[in-house]
Amino acid sequence: MIIHKPVLKKEVLEYLAPKPHENFIDATIGEMGHSSEILKRNGPNGRILGIDWDKEQIENCKLFRLCRESSMESGKIENFKSRLILINDSYSNLKKIAGKYNFRPNGILFDLGMSSWHLEKSGRGFSFMRDEQLDMRYNPKFPISNFQFPKLTAEKIVNEYPQDEIERILREYGEERFARSIANRIAEERKIRPIKTTFQLVEIIRKAIPFKYSYGKIHFATRIFQALRIAVNNELDNLKKVLPQAVEILEPGGRIVIISFHSLEDRIIKIFFRENKNQLEILTKKPVTPSQEEIKINPRSRSAKLRAAVKK
């Protein structure tokens, strides 16, 4: 199993400051890029509770665990198998999950970015560089009955939502300047034939924006795909829901580290930290961003912002 490049790895370890025997929650464990580094530092008895909404990502982590156990590298992480708990669930249920496992963390990590696996291998339409079905659900078979939109897909949004609602999603979640013209073009094209694939949508976006914006530094479809993904997975509401839970379950002196990739996410985190200064000491007056060296090695890290706080 190839592990993707974890964003801001050095900074995450600095602010989480894992020590021997401490317990951590990785609420978005993904491909274990950060968690594998924490496990090297919190042994021999410290544990990680790893949560991921995507069942396939949890299976990937289990595969990594098996590979780690059987490889020459296994000795570098003591008691690897017994110290890693993997849970397929939404982090919006954080308090319930931690309670079930009687888990009181010394630190909690949220990496809100897309994993390389989702973009390159999931086949769910997250990337505008691949011709795939417009799905964009993190877990198409998510088992939690109280999740608000279990059957909502990007395909359903572009084909069935009113034009003004599509415009709102693109403007609000994608901060897209051409939201109106793109929504209008989508409404016109779906009358001719259903919009089912990523390449169909990319071509519609291309036709809806001024020609000169088709060749910008950032791909012209980036913000639209981002907006649809956020809407499909209810990401901003889930973030608002989980932050109070994280503070509640943290041990006194416990650290919370959050990496966001969207200005709306960062704003939610910033406001939450500020409004809870009676419970939290903010460690990052300004968000920590990747160095130019990291961006050069991993261009996907360019929009990452890290904020951290410690529970009083």
Rounded CA separation 47/3 (Å): 20
Whether 203 is covered by a domain: the verdict is yes
Whether 23 is covered by a domain: the verdict is yes
Whether 128 is covered by a domain: the verdict is no
Tens digit of pLDDT for each residue in 197-228? 999 999 999 999 998 888 777 899 999 999 99
SS3 category, 110: strand
Do β-strands 24-26 and 48-52 pair in parallel, antiparallel, or remain unpaired? parallel
The domain that holds 186 is classified in CATH as: 1.10.150.170
pLDDT beyond 90 at 19: yes
| CB environment 156-190: b (16+ within 10 A), e (fewer) | ebbbebeeeebbbbbbebbebebbbbbbebbbebb
Look at phi and psi of residue 277 and say left if phi exceeds 0, alpha if psi is from -120 to 50, else beta. alpha
Containing structural domain, residue 163: 149-233
Segment 97-107 mean pLDDT: 97
pLDDT on residue 37 = 92
167 backbone dihedrals φ, ψ, rounded to 5°: -60, -45
Share of the chain above pLDDT 90, in %: 71
Whether 259 is covered by a domain: the verdict is yes
pLDDT beyond 90 at 164: yes
Answer yes or no: do 17 and 93 share one domain.
Answer: yes
Q: Which of 233, 254, 288 is the last residue of a domain?
A: 233
Whether 142 is covered by a domain: the verdict is no
pLDDT on residue 145 = 40
Answer yes or no: do 206 and 67 share one domain.
Answer: no
pLDDT confidence band for 298 (50 / 70 / 90): confident
Contact residues for 134 (Cβ-Cβ < 8 A; gap 6+): 125, 153, 154, 155, 158, 195, 196, 197, 198, 200, 201, 228
pLDDT confidence band for 73 (50 / 70 / 90): very low
Answer yes or no: do 80 and 220 share one domain.
Answer: no
Segment 105-119 mean pLDDT: 85
How many domains in the chain?
Answer: 2
Rounded CA separation 279/250 (Å): 11
pLDDT confidence band for 139 (50 / 70 / 90): confident
Whether 80 is covered by a domain: the verdict is yes
pLDDT on residue 184 = 98
Query: Mean pLDDT for the chain?
Result: 89
Stronger pLDDT, 35 or 63, i.e. the higher one: 35
Helix axes 222-233, 163-174, angle to 10 degrees: 100
Look at phi and psi of residue 136 and say left if phi exceeds 0, alpha if psi is from -120 to 50, else beta. left
pLDDT beyond 90 at 147: no
Answer yes or no: do 248 and 102 share one domain.
Answer: yes
Give residue 282's Cα distance to chain centre. 22
Segment 85-107 mean pLDDT: 95
Answer yes or no: do 23 and 35 share one domain.
Answer: yes
Alpha helices in 105-234 (DSSP H): 116-120, 154-160, 163-174, 179-192, 198-208, 222-233
Whether 82 is covered by a domain: the verdict is yes
pLDDT on residue 57 = 83
pLDDT on residue 78 = 65
Rounded CA separation 225/304 (Å): 17
Rounded CA separation 255/247 (Å): 9
Answer yes or no: do 241 and 227 share one domain.
Answer: no
pTM value? 0.89
